[in-house]
Amino acid sequence: MSLTKRALPEDIDVTDPRDTFSTPDSNEPSPSDWAVAEISNQISTLEKLGAVGYVSELKEYRARLQAVIETTLKPF
């Protein structure tokens, strides 16, 4: 466990602005906001039109997305 994590009380979530008393710089969407919106749009397209011939690519993308999810869920 990192020194930073050990120094924080158990109920503090550094990803929550309410716990860090910080405010977002602006109301503009972050690059991550745009990326997630784009992924959602592209998945909708694939659901409607199919993805014949792209199974290996989709499996690779699924693995990469799973890695992003795991990294996001990791505490520090």
Q: According to the model, what pLDDT value does residue 27 have? A: 85
Q: According to the model, what pLDDT value does residue 57 have? A: 97
Going residue by residue through the chain (76 aa), what tens digit of pLDDT does each one get?
565 555 556 666 666 666 555 565 678 899 999 999 999 999 999 999 999 999 999 999 999 999 999 999 987 6
Give the span between the Cα atoms of 48 and 71, in whole angstroms: 30
Task: For residue 29, give every residue at least 6 positions away whose Cβ sits within 8 Å of its Cβ, in sequence order, or none.
Answer: 37
Give the span between the Cα atoms of 56 and 59, in whole angstroms: 5
Give the span between the Cα atoms of 23 and 46, in whole angstroms: 37
Tell me the whole-structure pTM to 2 decimals: 0.59
